[in-house]
Amino acid sequence: MSKAFLWDNLLEYIDGQSVIPILGSELLVSRRDGRDVMVHRYVAERLAEVFGIASNDLPEDDTLNFVVCRFLDDPKNRREEIYPAINRIIKNGALTVPEPLRKLARIRHFKLFITTAFDSLLEQALAQERPKDVSPTRVLTYCPNDPEDLERDWRETQGQIVYHLLGKVSASADYVITEEDTLEYIYGMQKEQPEILFDELKGSHLLIIGSSFPDWLARFFIRIAKGDRLFSRNRPQSEIVVDRRVYGQREDKNLVLFLEHFSYGTKIFAEGGAIEFVNELSERYEKRHPPGEAAVPLPAVAPKAGVPQQSPLIFLSYASEDLEAAKKIRDALAQLGWDVWFDKRKLEGGDHFGQKIEEGINACALFSPIISANTQRRKEGYFRKECLIASDRLRLISERETWVIPIAIDETLEKGADIPEIFVKRELQWLRLGAGTPTSEFTKRMTDLFRDERKRQRGMK
């Protein structure tokens, strides 16, 4: 994949809010005493001073793990002493917020940030770039015995979320400081996962920047995050890895070989390190979205006095096998202001299934069948029924009106598609969203249709 193509795809995914950034220690370059320092190395050096450990031979990588192991070499020393000492170092360190974190915080299409660091510098970056009174930040933490999780409607809440995947600094032993801690956290994720978070990881594109994971952990982390064989060509989501272990002098050739040959969806950014990548991402994003622009272009039609606000309803019809793609489309439409008829949410206990479907189709402002190889194979089922009900209503609607918008989520072609004949005769304009990932064309069209429908509702058209 060419560099330009990689950037174009990544920015489209970011615009569609289907990218989750996973940030690591390589980005944590802070100013201390007039010099740039890597935060984890700074913590390790200060910890060595506190415990009287020689720091003249500290390794460049895994420095904190090395200092902790030196401390525990003395059987009289207790592990519990380390955590409050690190907590004090972080609180008293007067570390400046790293510029790469500030640049990432300015990318307002990022709502969920995952960090493998235990400090609060990412939260500080968000506070500086997205004032709390406008965009509050919620902080969640993974702990093997009590993992916090996202809320089901987290995309619809105000502000952004920072999830500390390997724990957050405190006076207790609730965060990773050694390789053994890392092993326990990863093992814990096999037994008790934050279900909603991992569902989001499986259904999103991952941007893994500066994690500095060892070879075994990098492979294992991508595997558990995606929930499927990495070699599978059926998974539409991808990962972009930006890490010194896959670039430059510290390149781990075995890891690179593995990712290139056995992880079909993983792309390696080999044009520079983590900070260089963030610099270029920030520059390209700001050209596309100048500072001050909203993350998603929300419809801005002022309501008439005395007219109640009611969002136009769009009915999504899909095969059950396409549920994950349908969720992405639903979430993108909800961000644009649409009230989305989505059977997993709209049907309540005791409702008559068929009756509710018919009512929804007859009441909606738009009907969007999600077309795929799965719907082509489906010879019967509610997807077929919903399309037939919609075709009956379409016959009563003027050919000049837009009411049905098919959305293809794979390579299924209009010609020969197994859809009602009237859909074909009307020569409907399809939208194409690979695996349900929104595009700028989709966002613009659905925003325009939303505004038109709002005007119609208020008698302005």
DSSP-assigned states of every residue in 407-456: EESSS--STT--S-HHHHHTT---EE-GGG---HHHHHHHHHHHHHHHHH
Task: Give the rounded distance of the alpha carbon of 381 from its chain centre.
Answer: 32
Q: What is the pLDDT of residue 281?
A: 93
The yes-or-no verdict on residue 42 having pLDDT over 70 is: yes
pTM of the model: 0.61
Residue whose entry in the numeric block shows the structure tokens 């098919």: 406
Question: Are residues 291 and 441 in contact, defined by beta-carbon separation less than 8 angstroms?
Answer: no
Tell me the C-alpha to C-alpha distance, in Å, between residue 341 and each of 312, 314, 367, 404, 415.
Answer: 10, 6, 10, 14, 27
Tell me the C-alpha to C-alpha distance, in Å, between residue 115 and each of 120, 125, 163, 209, 238.
Answer: 10, 13, 6, 10, 19
Q: What is the pLDDT of residue 305?
A: 36
Question: Are residues 181 and 64 in contact, defined by beta-carbon separation less than 8 angstroms?
Answer: no
For residue 379, the SS3 value is coil
Burial of 224 (0-12, 13-18, 19+ CB in 10 A): middle
The yes-or-no verdict on residue 1 having pLDDT over 70 is: no
d(CA 212, CA 61): 9
Instruction: Provide the mean pLDDT of the chain.
Output: 79
pLDDT tens, 150-169?
A: 988 888 788 899 999 999 99
Q: What is the pLDDT of residue 35?
A: 77
d(CA 287, CA 303): 32
d(CA 139, CA 154): 13
Q: What is the pLDDT of residue 300?
A: 36
Find the helix or strand (DSSP H, E) in which 366 lies.
strand 366-371
Question: Are residues 312 and 368 in contact, defined by beta-carbon separation less than 8 angstroms?
Answer: no
Amino acid identity of 267?
A: K
pLDDT tens, 248-288?
A: 545 556 655 555 555 556 676 666 688 889 999 999 999 98
Mean pLDDT to the nearest integer, 93-115: 91
d(CA 209, CA 437): 21
Q: Which domains does the chain have, with CATH numbers?
A: 3-28+98-288 (3.40.50.1220), 31-92 (no CATH), 313-457 (3.40.50.10140)
